[in-house]
Amino acid sequence: MAEDGPGDFTDKDPLFASAGTSNPDCHLKSKAGRYTSSGWVYGTDPNTSPCIDAGEQSSNYTNEPLFNGGRVNMGAYGNTIYASKSPCKIKNTLTNEYMHNEYTYNQDNGIVQCSSLENPGWWSARWTFIDLGNGYYKIQSIYSGKWMNTEHYNSYVQCDADDFGWAAQWYMVNNGNGNYYFKNRHRNTYMNMQNQSDQVELSGTLNNSSYWILETAPKPY
């Protein structure tokens, strides 16, 4: 059997959205989201294509939407705005801990937690971003399908099945060195880890715990 590498999938199904039809759809399946003729869909694919983040490492990938895994997808839509998305981990720059909902995924108004991961492949630490335009995003748990929001006016971020409109919209800013901060559109509060507890907190001002790094989740996706 040939070794895995860019362009070598002799023993793997590329997992196109639909193949073997008179009108095939060659967008790659992804749990983190893929484009369709009706727009983006999330949480509909049970599997993620091995062709995602599997193109030539030297190839440009910057036209792919957030989150793109830092490597181009193989196939017709690689390095385009229609490239299927990659799952993302979100790490706090102060604590080096990761957002997850491992213990609250089955709860509405469940706390978004932040801690070290017992297993780096935890599905509960995988997130996807839905671009709403003008710098705003919704953030969805790939594990539970629920949305980060501030609807219930708690001091922490929670996840719910309902996205609650503006309460689930986050203004996302790259501060220039790959670190991001997230400001809620509804309450004008920032995600942070100021008290270094096990939950993602909210405050009215930025502080040294308000910055986050987006990391590619480990394969398999």
Dump pLDDT digits (tens) for 29-82: 999 999 999 999 998 999 999 999 999 999 999 999 999 999 999 999 999 999
Please report the pLDDT score of residue 52 as a whole number. 97
Whether 143 is in a domain gets the answer yes
Percent of the chain beyond pLDDT 70? 95
Mean pLDDT computed over every residue of the chain: 92
> How many structural domains are present in the chain?
2
Amino acid identity for residue 67 in this structure: F
- Interatomic CA distance for residues 2 and 131, integer angstroms: 38
Shared domain for 119 and 49, answered yes or no, is: no
Using CA atoms, how far apart are residues 183 and 212, in angstroms rounded to an integer?
12
Q: How many helices (H) and strands (E) does the chain have?
A: 0, 17
Residue that wins the pLDDT comparison between 7 and 141? 141
17 and 124 together in one domain: no
Q: Compute how many other C-beta atoms are within 10 angstroms of the C-beta atom of residue 213.
A: 15
Statement to judge: residues 22 and 122 lie in one domain: no
Cβ contacts of residue 167 below 8 Å, gap of 6+? 149, 150, 151, 184, 185, 186, 187
Asked whether residue 154 is assigned to any structural domain, the reply reads yes
b/e map 147-163, b = 16+ CB within 10 Å: bbbbbeeeebbbbbeeb
Residue 134: CATH number of its domain: 2.80.10.50
Of 176 and 145, the structure prediction assigns the larger pLDDT to 145
Q: Do 128 and 174 reside in the same domain of the chain?
A: yes
Give residue 9's pLDDT. Answer: 57
Q: Are residues 115 and 142 in the same domain?
A: yes
pLDDT (0 to 100) of residue 3? 39
Q: What is the pTM assigned to this prediction?
A: 0.90
Looking at residue 218, its pLDDT comes to 87
Provide the 3-class DSSP secondary structure of residue 166.
helix
Range of the domain at 106: 88-216
> Could you give the CA distance from residue 219 to residue 56 in angstroms, rounded to a whole number?
17
Kindly report, residue by residue over 180-201, the tens digit of the pLDDT. Answer: 999 999 999 999 999 999 999 9
Q: Find the helix or strand (DSSP H, E) in which 114 lies.
A: strand 113-115
Answer yes or no: is 168 within a domain: yes
Instruction: List the one residue out of 179, 193, 183 whose CA is nearest residue 114.
Output: 193
